[in-house]
Structure 1
Amino acid sequence: MVEQKLRPTVLLFDVNETLLDLTPLSESINAVLLDERAAKLWFTTMLQYSLVMTASEQHASLPDIGAAVLEMMAKNTDVVLTTEQAKKALEPMRTLPAFPDVRPGLEQLKQKGFRLATLTNSSQSGVKAQIDYAGLSDCFERQLSVESVGKYKPHRSVYEWAVKEMGCEPGQCMLVAAHGWDVAGAKWAGLQTAFVARAGQQLFPLGPKPDFNVADIQVLADQLCKGN
């Protein structure tokens, strides 16, 4: 049971891989690069270069970084790929389905009085398109994007900004994500955290332990709403 004094009031949700299934995007990337394992490397490399830009005090939209990384990977495998073709291959990112557990879990949390918002590395227009397509717009009070900060998660300033935007203290917020680096960054910034153990995702062994380690959003909802 979650003690009342520890119960968060605001839940900030990562979007890609946490709420939305990346399978259509992965299939598109794998087809372009002619490698069924390419999508996973693309995602981690995109994260790497988003952090390179953050560390260098530069910023570009996630779709632009993603397309640039796809072009780099294509050159490494002798695949001819133009910038426009790279952007075309990434279009499925805006039309990803929600995992089956997501909507019922979000509805349960909202009904129990939790304030829900996204906190994503996607652009503002990107997250709006994603959440609209997945049919989740009515679940969220705010759709927050790192684009407003000009830095990418897991930079500490992103979490601090999100907390201020929601008008609460760090300890009242819980970051919910399927990425070990994301929950570690949020925990280091003073937020509560919940790790969603989607297939292929692991906690970072050197990071602080999350407050919750759950299989999906519905399980998290059941645990947070228990006794309330």
Structure 2
Amino acid sequence: MPRSPRVIFFDVNETLLDLQPVKDSVARALNGRQELVATWFTTLLQYSLVVTVADRYTDFGAIGAATLRMVADKHDIALSQQEAETALKPIRSLPPHPEVAGALERLRGAGYRLFTLTNSGTDALAEQMANSGLAPYFEDLLSVEAVGKFKPATEVYHWAAGRVGVSPEDCLLVAAHGWDVAGAAWAGLQTAFISRPGQTTYPLADPPTWTATDLTILANRLTDNMT
């Protein structure tokens, strides 16, 4: 069995919080074209990597609105900047997945130090955690805004480990995205993949340290494995 981490970092969007409300809002902005929601999210991730590689940090929300307009324009859908920003407002008030609060409570009660580590900006993250009721479970809310690069850049994971005063190998990154899990593993962290519907791991990366269908199962395994 893998050794127990001292610190657990959690991705936020889709891992802790249910993205369905923002997916529905984006689909409405795109004339009901549900199939374009995945295109938008992929484009958002693509351009977050573009600005990271080019060393040009821009707030994740701003990239989200810009890429939503790009997708709309490509499919001949009229969408203003204000309409794009309005479509993304639900991302600040997403509900947690049903099992999240209980799993976080169990992990915190077992002595794990819990932190967020998200591509969302600092202000958006604070609002998300307050609205979801999850803020009290975390020792601190970490955003990539402090680094000026987006996950899965290696610098982000190393910064987070340094920020909490623990070596990367004693940290665990929990995420529902294969790219995030791969990036954390390449940076030397332990990883846990939460296989939310439609998500999969990257075949060219090492397998995650842990895999679970939800956070309750992961919490049970981690607390049972504590040394």
> So what's the TM-score if we normalise by structure 1?
0.97
Q: SS where residue 90 of structure 1 aligns?
A: helix
Partner deviation per Cα, 1:115-163 (whole Å, 9 max, x = no partner): 0000000000011111111100100001000000000000000000000
Equivalent position to 1:135, from 130, 133, 136: 133
Equivalent position to 1:125, from 123, 126, 149: 123
Equivalent position amino acid for 1:10 in 2: V
Equivalent position to 2:145, from 124, 144, 147: 147
Map 1:1-228 → 2, pairs under 5 A: 2=1, 6-34=3-31, 35-226=33-224, 228=226
Aligned pair count reads: 225
CA distance in 2, matches of 1:38, 1:142: 35
User: 1:12: Cα distance to partner?
Assistant: 0.1
Q: SS where residue 174 of structure 1 aligns?
A: strand
User: 1:37: Cα distance to partner?
Assistant: 1.5
User: 1:26: Cα distance to partner?
Assistant: 0.2
Q: SS where residue 16 of structure 2 aligns?
A: coil
| Larger CA deviation: 77-86 vs 110-119 | 77-86
TM-align CA RMSD: 0.9
Q: Is the 8 A contact 2:144 2:150 kept in 1?
A: yes
Partner deviation per Cα, 1:93-113 (whole Å, 9 max, x = no partner): 001000001000000000000
CA distance in 1, matches of 2:205, 2:14: 20
Give structure 2 stretches of 5+ with no counterpart.
none
Q: SS where residue 116 of structure 1 aligns?
A: strand
Q: SS where residue 79 of structure 2 aligns?
A: coil
> So what's the TM-score if we normalise by structure 2?
0.97
CA distance in 1, matches of 2:114, 2:58: 27
CA distance in 1, matches of 2:84, 2:29: 8
User: 1:227: Cα distance to partner?
Assistant: 5.4
Partner deviation per Cα, 1:44-98 (whole Å, 9 max, x = no partner): 1100000000000101101100000011111111111111110011000001000
- Tell me which stretches of 4 or more aligned residues in structure 1 moved more than 3 Å: none
User: 1:41: Cα distance to partner?
Assistant: 1.3
